[in-house]
Structure 1
């Protein structure tokens, strides 16, 4: 859910609050001032106000619940269900140390919550050199989108979909990432680390992973996407392939007139035609057996691993991506991701 869409100022009207409540599958709106949490307003607040003679155009300032109940991100499911039963509250704002709302935990969504044992391997060891000065002192996955690092946004997206076990493959400025996320407890997930002593590429770091027992997801740590990862894993299992590669459609316009000839005679010309290709989206599902085809501590990129498997006649499945996807590799893509996050 979009936290930004749930925010109101204390000077907002009752009518504005009504438009928000229920819009994101929760029954409250958040009252904030300079991004600092003040309280919540619910439909019960509004009903009481209207019965007491308030009008829709009146401000919510005197009717919202101040000092409302909030929780921490790492609260357990059992603790939250107990709190809900004691208070008869079902939607809880989650605050950070700066009194800013970072999430809302809803009892309805928790009761429907999925949980998967499949591990997620995130490749977060790259230099990010195409982003220039931005990554001179900060690894690319730690650049902010909104108020959170790219990598935190990725982890929370996976967590929301039921994936809570992560392996970070780190290299460049790894201490920044390790110090920030540690073992993942603050986000309610489990994080372990593969620490490359040298650059091993987008597949080589997998050689350092031990005891993988289930199908696992591998994704580059600079990708933001709305892909349904549960569906991806299910389709992978149905395919009975050793590996699945997520593909997306890439369009490229040739900036010239393209000419067709036969025996030096021009037969046709097409001005600036658009070419379409299927390209790798940097997201994969692998079976543990794939790891035996990766030599330990030897540089290997994912395209070369794919070629290696194909040479051995091993089945590789394709999965066409139709959802939002952005690879934050260049400055213009980083800027676009920031804009997208605010819309």
Structure 2
């Protein structure tokens, strides 16, 4: 099974980082967000990826073109310029880097990938900016068991603000807002049948509007409720928080060895 990762958006709320690179290439612990997401999938047995490129897609292409050399020790013979890779790390992923347009919406990007799937194929998909300790194999089993065309992973909204308890004018307690009681939101990590791509009209189609709404109305959209960790990276504060989690060795989304 393949996994599609949408990696073409502008990421305007992270302008400090995304002025020179696409959002999925913002680094957490020295590795791009995209690398973290791919490892989540690989831990569940998904090792073929389709990266939907757009804004600064050349940065992602350069990363994967140089991935093998950068991930291993190398020897450079300066007398003739030859390079020898010292085989240490071998990542058994296949990565398709596909231009899906600079201004395409989320649905439009999916639509531009139709030709990569067989008529009866099922694939996974997610956004390039969300991390979760999701069990990909369990998600896949859930989808296969219900037999509908689409599954969306839902999660509790992450805490964005601290909670304050007062005694008069004095702050008696300050805690992180708990990630409970906030309802459920779209966390990405979809499982989709190739047929759902027929609901996409053109590049302007927003996946979260017409296609998902139509799937819900027709009873073809099921929700996989993820009770664990999920955190999007929308702001610099969230980027710093994720980086600190990784550096402390307490990154819940690290489900791989």
TM-score normalised over the length of structure 2: 0.73
Please state if 1:302 is matched with 2:185: no
**Alignment match, 1:66:** none
How far the C-alpha of 1:275 sits from its partner, in A, is 5.5
- The SS at the match of 1:282 is coil
4+ aligned runs moved over 6 Å, structure 1: 183-186
**Alignment match, 2:94:** 190
Larger Cα Rg: Structure 1 or Structure 2?
A: 1
**Alignment match, 2:238:** 333
**Alignment match, 2:168:** none
Task: Return the match for 1:177 from 57, 60, 65.
Answer: 60
Structure with greater contact order relative to length (CA < 8 Å, sep ≥ 6): 2
**Alignment match, 1:218:** 125
How far the C-alpha of 1:184 sits from its partner, in A, is 7.1
Maintained 8 Å contact 1:224/1:327: yes
Maintained 8 Å contact 2:153/2:187: yes
The alpha-carbon distance between structure 1 residues 183 and 201, as it changes in their structure 2 partners (threshold 3 A), is: farther
Please state if 1:201 is matched with 2:114: no
Separation of aligned partners in 2, 1:248 and 1:237: 20
**Alignment match, 2:157:** 250
Maintained 8 Å contact 2:55/2:102: no
Maintained 8 Å contact 2:149/2:221: yes
Separation of aligned partners in 2, 1:136 and 1:198: 15
Maintained 8 Å contact 1:244/1:285: yes
- The SS at the match of 2:189 is strand
How far the C-alpha of 1:295 sits from its partner, in A, is 1.9
Separation of aligned partners in 2, 1:251 and 1:333: 10
How far the C-alpha of 1:309 sits from its partner, in A, is 2.2
Matches within 5 A, 1:218-237: 218-237=125-144
The alpha-carbon distance between structure 1 residues 229 and 275, as it changes in their structure 2 partners (threshold 3 A), is: closer
Q: Residue deviations 1:256-291, cap 9 Å, x none?
A: xxxxxxxxxxxxxxxxxx952111112211111111
How far the C-alpha of 1:325 sits from its partner, in A, is 1.4
Unaligned regions of 5+ residues in structure 2, if any? 69-89, 164-179, 249-257
How far the C-alpha of 1:307 sits from its partner, in A, is 0.8
Task: Return the match for 1:141 from 24, 38, 44.
Answer: 24
How far the C-alpha of 1:189 sits from its partner, in A, is 0.7
Task: Return the match for 1:285 from 166, 191, 195.
Answer: 191
The alpha-carbon distance between structure 1 residues 301 and 163, as it changes in their structure 2 partners (threshold 3 A), is: same
Maintained 8 Å contact 2:7/2:54: yes
Matches within 5 A, 1:35-184: 118-182=1-65
Q: How many residues align?
A: 206
How far the C-alpha of 1:132 sits from its partner, in A, is 2.0
Separation of aligned partners in 2, 1:138 and 1:251: 25
How far the C-alpha of 1:163 sits from its partner, in A, is 0.9
**Alignment match, 1:82:** none
